[in-house]
Structure 1
Amino acid sequence: MMSPKKFKTLFPALALPVILWSGTLQAEVPRVVADIAPVHSLVSMVMKGVGEPKLLVPQNVSPHH
């Protein structure tokens, strides 16, 4: 069994590469779909710099039909 003193010195040395490596893992860009143009506009503002939402109902089509 490892002594607590040895563990205290070994743990940071083992944890540091894991912490540094996990920072390089990034989630992929979220895929977002908005149903109507006003919602698409709001979502676009929220997602600025991250991604671009898709518009489900084109602007020239009524969402009620």
Structure 2
Amino acid sequence: MRLSQILKLIPVSKATWWNGCKTGQFPKPYKLGPRITAWKTSDIYQCLQQFQLSRENKSG
């Protein structure tokens, strides 16, 4: 899954996403080529579930 697809699902900025990848908050990326970075779809959906749970806990 590419970054543009991820940011449609998880409402954060590019900078926030990359910082989260560096700190371990978000899944690690995989380099597919010199200018191509992607993430495993399963990792992103797991991250999305955690993101939704944390939002529910904050609001409820």
Q: TM-score, normalised by structure 1?
A: 0.26
More strand by share: 2
Q: Flag the structure with higher helix content.
A: 2
Greater RCO, 1 or 2 (C-alpha within 8 Å, sep 6+): 2
Greater Rg over alpha carbons, structure:
1
